[in-house]
Structure formats: C-alpha cells, structure tokens
Chain A
C-alpha cells in the first residue's frame, strides 16, 4: 500500500460492466441501503464465471450489528477486518484482501465498490506470480526484473554505472544541479536498455522504479558520497545543533510517556537508514519506522509524529540528515507523483529537520532545572545574590546565628543549609561546574575568587572544563585553563575537553585549547578508541578537522571498530584533507607509540621534517638552529612559540582579567601571540636538520625534552645522510641526549642512515661504552646489517674494539639464552 498501489479502472472491468449493464436495480439499492459492491480485480476470473449467482455472491448487505458484519445477497455471512474480507474462518483461502475502495458518484447515486484480490467463495489457488505487488525494496526490484525475464539487463545496467563512475571522477565536487543532470541522463540510458528489450506492458511504472533502484544500488557509495559532499556544510551546522541538544528528554518536546516503548523500536529501525543505498530502501526504512509508531492502540496525530521524529533525529547517531533528505527529494526520476505516501514520509522528515533548524527549537531548553536556590542564582547570573548566599555562610560559620535554635524562617533556613563553594547538586556538579555549564563567566570568576576547586568532578567524571568545552563557552574555558585546569582530563567515557569540543562542533573552543595549552594531547583516545580527529570527521566539521591536522593530529589511529578517521569520512572534503596531511596514510597502518607492536620498525608518518616555504622562514629556521647551537634556550623557545617551564607563569596571571585587551595587558601578552607565526617544531633547514637534530648534536638535553614534549618527531631524517637525531647524538657522543631520545616510546633505535649504519654502530666506532650500553638497554639490535652487509658486531671485531665487543657479546648471548 506504499509507493505505487495497485490500481485499475473499474469501468473497464468486465465483472463491473456486467453489473452496470444488467443489474441496475442492484446499483440503485446499493446507493439507497449502503450495500457494498465487490469486484474481483481484472484477470482474477474467467468471463464464463460471470453470472447472476456469482454477482449476488459479491454484493454485501450490512447487517444491523455489529458494524463489520455483512451478509451477501445469497445469504452468506462475511465480515470485514483490517481491509480484508473474511468468508470462512481458519481457512487459508477464507480471507480475501481488499486492494482498494472506490466511492462512485454517478448521477444521483452514490455507492461504494471494493476491488478484491480474487473472487469470493471460489476455492481457486492464485499463482503468486500474478499477485499484483509493488516492489518495496531493492530485493523486490531485482526479483521483479528477473520475473519479467529481464535478468540479462542487470549486467548492462551494472556496466553503464561502472563506466559512469569511471568517466565522472570529479562527480563529488560538482554542484547539485549537475549531479542531478548526470544521474538523470544515466537513468535514461539505463531505461533505454530496458525499452529495447521489452514491449512496455501495464507495469511500466514498476519497471521504471525497478531500473532506477537497481541503478542506484550500482552507483552505491559514489552517489551517496557526492550528495554528502554537496551538503557537507549544511550537515555540519545541523549536526552542531543536534549534538548540542542531545540532552533533551521526551518531556522537553512534549512527548507523552505512553510513546516511550514505540519510540525505542522506531529508533532501532530508523538508525539503519544509512545502511541502505537506494531511495526505495531508505523510504522503506522510514515506512517501517512509521509502522512501529502506528502499531499501537494509541492514535498519533501529525503533531505527535513530528515531535517523535524530532526526538529520534536528536537521539540517533546519524551525521548526514540533510544529505539524506536531498537525496530522497532530488534524485528520484522514475515517479513524478508527489501526493503518494512515500512523499508524505519524506515530507515529514523534512518538516522535522526544518523544525530542528528553526528558532522555535532553539528556545526549547532542557528541563534540567536547578533544584537549589543557590544553583538558581548561577543559572540566572545573579552574582549579588550568590555572593550574599555564600558570604552569609562564611560569616555565620559554625556559630549559628539562628533566631532561635529550632527556627524555621527563610533567612535561618538559608543559613542552615550548607552553602559553601564546594557544595554539589544531585548530579555531583559543583557550583563551578554548574557555572561552566551555563557559561556564566562572572560567576566562574567569582567562585574561583572564593576558592572553588577547579578540578572537581561530577558523577560523569566531568570537570568544569569539560562542560565549558562541550557547551562552547570559550570565555569560561580560557579562565579555567588559565587557572591550571587539567586540559587532558578524561571523563568516565574517556573524553577530554578537546573531544567534547570537537564532537559538539565548537571551533572557537578547539582553537582556544590549541592556543593556550602547550601540553594538549591531540591524539588522546576515549573509551571507544576515538581521537578528536575521529569525532571531527564523523560530524563533518571541516574547520575543526583542519585545525587538528595543522596541529599534527595523527590520522593513523584506529578506533575500537578498527576504523581510521579516513574510514569515517563521509564526503570528499574531509577525505581529501586527511589524505593531504597524511600522505603515507595506509588503511592498516598504526602508529607505534600508541600501539606498541613487536616490530620495532614502525613506520613513522613522515621521513623528513617539514620543508619551510619562503625565504623568510628558511632564514628564521637558520636563526633558530643557531640559537640552539648557542645554547640560548629562551630565544629558542621564543622562535618555537612556547614558553619553558620556568617562565610559563607569566601567562594571564598578571593581566587585569584573562581576556583583557587593555594596553598594559597587551604588552604582557606577547607569549601566546607569537604562536600565530611560530616555527613548527618539526620544520627543518635546507639540509633536513630539525631543531631536534641540533639539540641532539649539541647535547641540549633540556631543550630536547621540551621538544619531545611538544610533539617533535624523533625519527625524522636529514636529506642526504638520512641520519636521525639519535645518529647525531651518538656521533657527537651526547650521552644524556641519547638516553632521552632512546627512551622516547616511538623512537626507532635501529634507524639506518645512508650507509645503512645504525646509531649503535656510531657509538661503537666512537668507542663510547656508556652510550652503547644505553642503546642496548633500549633494545638496540646489534645484528642489523649495513649496506656493505656487515653487522655491528663484525665491524667492531674488525676494528679490534674489544671492550665494546664484550658488551655486544654479552647482549647477544643474553638474547641467545
């Protein structure tokens, strides 16, 4: 009954023609006494079977009670139930489907006609192939085409689609109109293939639908991804709204609790919408969702349905609603009938999406009302009241200044209830957490001034900083960070503030975090194994994605479902960005530091440092390297745009307030401001030397540590000699530097230079037993062969370095044992 319904013109039906021609009296009485005239569908009976007896069998006369009981003119009992006529109970052929009802208004007569699947009271088996069915899924379409002896056409359509994908490599970046035109012309090509093979019979509409659906399934992800790309930015802004409303509950949307159960089932059904590729299947998914809603004894009005749909959209993890809608409305060419039921379903979806985007929806607030008066003051931003409440407590202290010991008046009660800055509400949220949640900047400052603890956690393990990032309150976030809130703190789901800011699309907060926190962990994983990068990709936030990648987020970390961020990429832009920043991105590649594998030779993302662009930058890098050579730590830090530990306190502390822009503060503000044009820690000079190389070469251990903390990659190689910092440290015999580098988790101690020599080789050649020992302790392998085919041991023996040789042998024999 969905999509295209069975239909025939009853005036052409011989059974009906017979009634009209020879039984005019029946028609008249039907009009006067509300008889129902039943007509078997065309083709379900033989012309010879039409006689007065069978016709009288098909006239239903209503009996007095109950409503659904009828009697035929031949005095046989039948009853109507769920659009079916039951002639005999408990017999497979006893129930006959009513295909459709038609009300006739002819001259002054009005009567109702039922078109039946097959005649009443005739025990005839109807072959299933003749059953009038409308394809509802891709599967039905394929069956339908096979049934029409058109199986061979499927292959042709497949080939047309394959060559379409081949010829339109840039399909995804086209605009919507040209995408439609391209797909539309492909559709007409596919249709021509069919038309060549078939004289179009009555089921022309179904045929078109089947061909189109099969075509869509062949185009598969190509088409979906292209539409995703077109709607990418709309989806991102929609996702942001949805993500930030995810705490809405049924009652916030005025949905009655009685719908609770059906919503659960509907949600499961609707969550599958992205598993389907074809429009028919997606619409069918909507239809099944609706059926779950209707399968109750509760009548749903359009208002209910709309509200339930809004709720489902908010609660489901689907990131491309706009894209789905555009696909459903713009890419169907086979049917132009806009008034059918599938159109109604799609329109309901559209209305729900539109409502979520509307200002009406923005006014719906979570009904999370503060229980306590003091929390209320924070919600309403009433600082005077808050100060009063807290001050009162402080002055009152333990000396209860109650009117009398058991007094219950308002002022005494407020003094009695424990108002102090550390108090929590029913969710374990402190006052500060609550202020951060509501983005009340003044309140946050006030509470901090009163000594509120910045690291309090609520029952979800979230600190105030989490809420500031989650809700996009950049101002609050900056204050908290400035007060040394732990920026990499994880809540009970393993999410850091960065995760939450990324998942809710708060670009300003993501920027602020990178801007102010030098120890921010970009690649932190939550309990689902997702990095912030995963979340940004998943919800289509291209802006945030770019920031993350510019800050060297690693795109090669897989989540617990073994998906890399690039696997989650829904559209062309995010995919391109990910590939652009991670040229060596391989689907199965994992980064050694985070997932230590037995193979010590994990592939680093990049071989060499970042090559500077522009003369000015090259000069700057040379200056930076010179500063390292001169052991000028402050200058080095200045160039790199971060502060050393000892000087990190200058930050905001001395400013009027954290975001102050007055002249005095601006002068002090130079530190973070330099971040804008700082030199990337992994950039290199024209020979490929990074700051880390220089720090290692000259043994600047403190700087080395800072560099590694700031995500300097330890395995970058110089251009000609292919030496890593560890090579240089060994060659120049910098023991502390060697130790520092070798213990770094993702450092490759056996990296080979242009001659194939490992750092161990150089340490041995220099006859520096302590360095050799340090390397061996960190798992250096003395059997690695250089390009001449000699292992380190052999070289050492040739050079008669017996002390070292003994060390290596000890190691080798230990291994051996």
Chain B
C-alpha cells in the first residue's frame, strides 16, 4: 500500500519468479551494488529498502524477495498482497521459468487487478549464447498483459537500475492518478481493489507510455 506520510511515498515491490532465476542477485545488485555468484555476503537479501528522489518526489521502495520453490507457490498471496509493484523474473536460458512468469501474471491480475504495476525481467543476458526464450516472444507477451519488459544482467549490472526506476515512475503515476480520482472521496477507501480477470487471450489496455529502459 502506498501511504504518503510526511511527503514520502512508501511502495512495496515484490520479486516473483522460479528458484534460481536470480531474484536475489537482482535486488542485491540494485540496492547494495554487489554481485557474487556464490552469494557470499553478510547482507540479508530478502527485505531491502531503497530511498529515491525523483524530481523532488520522495519514494521509499521496500523490496520483498519471495520464496521461489514450487512447493511455496501457494504462499504467494501472503507476500504480494497490498503491493504496488511486482518484478517478475525469468531466466532467458530457461523456458520453464518464463512459463512460470506467465502464471504469476495471470494470478496477480486476477487478485490485484490493474492496481499493481508489473515489470518482467529476462535475467542472465550475460548467457546470451544459451538463450531459450526469444526476446520477441517475451516483449509481445509483456505488452499484451500491460507489463514492461526488460533485459537484465545482475552479473554485468545491466538494465537493473533502469528497470527499478521505470517501475517506480509507473507506480508513482498510478498512485497519483488514484489520488486524483479519490480526491473528493474519503481516503479510507484506498484498500478497495478493482478486480479484473485477465485471460491470456484478452488484451488489457495497452501501457500508456513505453519508457526509456525498454531496450
């Protein structure tokens, strides 16, 4: 939930994706600017804060890493409820992980509706030669479901910052639109959610603006 206390927007962002696609690496690279293939670090990686100031607007990102193993799939809603944004990560060398992203998108749209801003990250572009998920397919799918697609590499620090920045800008837009709508109403209603069921075939309103980082 975004609450604007003391002029600061608090945004909750969840990282979703199959195990071993590099969720933890992405967030560590972004917040701590660290990468280690063995994950040897003393920093806890499952919850991190990042403060941003975009054109004078203060934003506090709370980034939640989630458990990726299949057996924990059912716990998803506990993690992603009341989040403003989600980063759906897949491994470009692993087709299954991309299918998994699709199932997450479906689930998120079903439960959180259009309130949640989505980005889809094809991680591990440093392993380009082993690519199994075509860029075109991923981008087509992303624009179809109203998500922004990024290609990232936590190892080479490519696309990570742009991705989070774009997501933040999008969340900011969403929350401002909402505030404009709710202005005459009581602010207490912010918990209410529009539920929109999205099927793969159904095309939701296309994203209003494609951002710079979409390489």
| A339 adjacent to B75 (CB under 8 Å) | no
Residues from chain B with a CB closer than 8 A to the CB of A205 are 5
Contact of A358 among B5, B7, B55, B74 (CB under 8 A): B74
A143 at the interface (CB under 8 A from B): no
Closest to A352 in B: B75
Would you call A106 an interface residue if the criterion is a C-beta within 8 Å of the partner chain's C-beta atoms? yes
Residue B189 interfacial (CB < 8 Å): no
Query: Scoring A residues 330 to 351 as 1 if CB is less than 8 Å from chain B, else 0, what string do you get?
Result: 0000001111110010011011
Chain B residues near A301 (CB-CB < 8 A): 24, 39, 45-46, 65, 67-68
Contact segment of B56-64, B106-114, B116-124, B176-184: B56-64
- Would you mind naming 24 contact pairs between A and B with Cβ atoms under 8 Å apart? A5-B49, A7-B6, A100-B51, A103-B50, A295-B42, A299-B39, A299-B41, A301-B24, A301-B45, A302-B45, A302-B46, A302-B67, A305-B46, A306-B72, A336-B1, A338-B1, A338-B12, A338-B82, A339-B62, A340-B10, A341-B47, A341-B62, A344-B46, A354-B74
Asked if A360 meets B62 with Cβ closer than 8 Å, knowing A106-B56, A337-B5, A338-B82, the reply is no
> Does A105 sit within 8 A of B, measured CB to CB?
yes
Q: Establish whether residues B19 and A303, one from each chain, have CB atoms under 8 Å apart when the complex forms.
A: yes
Residues of A contacting B82 with CB < 8 Å? 338
**A290 touches B (CB below 8 Å):** yes
In the bound complex, residues from chain B placing their C-beta under 8 Å from that of A302 are 24, 45-46, 65-68
In Å, the complex CA distance between A360 and B74 comes to 9
CB-CB < 8 A to B45: which residues of A? 299-302
In the A-B complex, the 5 residue pairs with the smallest Cβ-Cβ separation, listed nearest first, are A299-B39, A339-B62, A339-B12, A102-B51, A344-B47
Are B67 and A351 in contact, with the CB atoms below 8 A?
yes
Neighbouring B residues of A339 by C-beta, 8 Å: 1, 10-12, 60, 62, 83
Question: Does A9 sit at the interface, judged by CB under 8 A?
Answer: yes
Bound together, the chains give a CA A101 to CA B32 distance in angstroms of 11
Could you tell me the distance in whole angstroms from the C-beta of B67 to the nearest C-beta in chain A?
4
Encode B68-87 as 1/0 by CB contact (under 8 A) with A.
11011011001100110000
Inter-subunit contact A303/B72 (CB<8 Å): yes
Residue in contact with A102 in the complex, picked from B41, B52, B71, B75, CB distance below 8 Å: B52
Tell me whether A101 and B74 are in contact in the complex, defined as CB-CB below 8 angstroms, given that A300-B46, A339-B62 are known contacts: no
Residues in A neighbouring B140, C-beta threshold 8 A: none
- Contact at A360–B1, with CB atoms within 8 Å? no
Q: Which of B12-66 contact A (CB under 8 A)?
A: 12, 19, 24, 39-47, 49-56, 58, 60, 62, 64-66
Where the two chains meet, the residues of A that have a C-beta atom closer than 8 Å to any C-beta of B are 5, 7, 9-11, 100-107, 113, 205, 290, 293-303, 305-306, 336-341, 344, 347-348, 350-351, 354-355, 358, 360
Interchain nearest-CB distance for A489 vs B (Å): 39
A9 and B7 in contact, given A297-B40, A299-B45, A338-B82 (Cβ under 8 angstroms): yes
Residue of A nearest to B1 (CB): A338
Is B44's CB under 8 angstroms from A300's CB? yes
- Say whether B99 faces chain A, with CB atoms less than 8 Å apart: no
Q: Given known contacts A9-B7, A302-B46, A303-B72, is B53 in contact with A347 (CB within 8 Å)? A: no
Q: Assess whether A350 is in contact with B78, with CB atoms less than 8 Å apart.
A: yes
* Residues in A neighbouring B198, C-beta threshold 8 A: none
B41 cross-chain contacts in A, Cβ below 8 A? 297, 299
Instruction: For chain B, residues 154 to 192, give those with C-beta under 8 angstroms from any C-beta of chain A.
Output: 165
A113 neighbours in B (Cβ, 8 Å): 53
Say whether B40 contacts A106, CB under 8 Å. Answer: no
Write out the residue numbers on chain B whose beta carbons fall within 8 Å of the beta carbon of A338: 1, 12, 82
- Closest CB in chain A relative to B161 CB, distance in Å: 9
Chain A interface mostly helix, strand, loop or mixed?
mixed
Q: What's the least CB distance linking A645 to chain B, in Å? A: 55
**Cβ of A105 and Cβ of B165 under 8 Å apart?**
yes
B197 at the interface (CB under 8 A from A): no
Q: CB-nearest residue of chain B relative to A111?
A: B53
- Given that A105-B52, A344-B64 are known contacts, is A7 also in contact with B10, CB under 8 Å in the complex? no
* Residues in A whose Cβ lies below 8 Å from that of B58: 9, 102
For residue B71, give the distance in angstroms from its CB to the closest CB of chain A.
5
CA–CA, A303 and B10, complex, Å: 25
| CB <8 Å contact, B67 and A303 | yes
Among B19, B50, B62, B69, contact of A340 (Cβ-Cβ < 8 Å): B62
- Assess whether A351 is in contact with B56, with CB atoms less than 8 Å apart: no
Residues of A contacting B19 in the complex (Cβ-Cβ under 8 angstroms): 303
Q: What residues of chain A lie closer than 8 Å to B52, measured between beta carbons?
A: 102-105
Q: Does B211 have its Cβ within 8 Å of any Cβ on chain A?
A: no
Known A9-B7, A340-B62: A294·B51 in contact at CB below 8 Å? no
> Chain B interface residue count: which class?
35 or more
A331 → chain B closest CB, angstroms: 18
Report how many A-B pairs have Cβ atoms within 8 Å: 124
B3 interface residue (CB < 8 Å to A): yes
Q: Verify if B133 is at the interface (C-beta below 8 Å from A).
A: no
For the complex formed, measure the closest distance between the CB of B64 and the CB atoms of chain A, giving whole angstroms: 6
Query: What is the chain A residue whose CB lies nearest that of B71?
Result: A360
Cα separation A113 to B52 with both chains bound (whole Å): 10
CB-CB nearest in chain A for B57: A105
Residues of A within 8 A of B50 (CB): 101, 103
| Separation of A305 and B79 alpha carbons in the complex (Å) | 14
Chain A residue nearest to B31 in the complex (CB): A101
Query: Which among B43, B53, B78 is the interface contact of A351 at CB below 8 angstroms?
Result: B78
Residues of A within 8 A of B10 (CB): 337, 339-340
Contact (Cβ within 8 A) B6 A9: yes
The answer to whether B75 touches A101 (Cβ under 8 A) is no
Pair B40/A299 contact, Cβ less than 8 Å: yes
Q: Which residues of B contact A347 (CB under 8 A)?
A: 64, 78-79
Residues of B within 8 A of A298 (CB): 40
Contacts of B6 in A (CB 8 A): 7, 9
Chain A residue contacts of B72, Cβ below 8 A: 303, 306, 351, 355, 360
Given the complex, which residues of A lie within 8 Å of B7, measured CB to CB? 9
Q: How far is the CB of A666 from chain B (nearest CB, A)?
A: 46
A472 to B69, CA, bound (A): 31
User: How close is A238's CB to chain B, nearest CB, in angstroms?
Assistant: 16
Task: Choose among B40, B51, B60, B66 the residue with the greatest number of A CB atoms under 10 Å from its CB.
Answer: B51
Provide the residues of chain A in CB contact with B60, threshold 8 Å.
7, 339
Q: Which residue of B lies closest to A361 (CB)?
A: B71
* CB-based contact A7/B46 at 8 Å: no
Closest Cβ neighbor of B44 among chain A residues = A294
Residues of B within 8 A of A341 (CB): 47, 49, 62
Complex contacts, B83 vs chain A, CB 8 Å? 339
- Pick the residue among A103, A290, A350, A351 that contacts B51 (CB under 8 A): A103
Please indicate which of the listed interface residues A5, A104, A350 has the most CB atoms of chain B within 10 Å of its own CB.
A104
Q: Which residue of B lies closest to A340 (CB)?
A: B62
Q: A303-B68, A341-B47, A354-B74 are in contact. List 8 more A-B contacts (CB 8 A).
A: A102-B52, A105-B55, A301-B65, A305-B67, A336-B1, A338-B1, A339-B83, A354-B78
Within 8 A of A (CB), among B113-137: none
- Which chain A residue has the least Cβ–Cβ distance from B34? A67
**Contact assessment for A7 and B1 in the assembled complex, using a CB-CB cutoff below 8 Å:** no
Report Cα–Cα, A337/B12, bound state, in Å: 10
CA of A427 to CA of B69 in the docked complex: distance in angstroms?
A: 34
Question: Which chain B residues border A294 with CB–CB below 8 Å?
Answer: 42-44
Chain A residues with Cβ below 8 Å from B64 are 344, 347
**Most interface-central of A293, A298, A339, A347 (chain B CB within 10 A):** A339
Interface pair A102/B78, CB less than 8 Å apart: no
The residue in A103, A295, A347, A348 that gathers the most chain B C-beta atoms within 10 A of its C-beta is A103
User: B70 CB to closest chain A CB, in angstroms?
Assistant: 9
Which residues of chain B are near A358, meaning CB under 8 Å? 74-75
Would you call B55 and A106 a contact (CB within 8 A)? yes
Q: A105 and B53 in contact (CB under 8 A), knowing A299-B40, A302-B65?
A: yes
A contact residues around B3 at 8 Å (CB):
336-337
The CA of A105 and the CA of B211, in the complex, are separated in Å by 15
- CB nearest neighbor in B for A294: B44
CB-CB < 8 A to B12: which residues of A?
338-339
Question: B165: which A residues are within 8 A, CB to CB?
Answer: 105
Question: Is there an interface contact between B1 and A354, defined as CB atoms closer than 8 Å?
Answer: no
Separation in Å of the B72 CB from the closest CB of chain A?
6
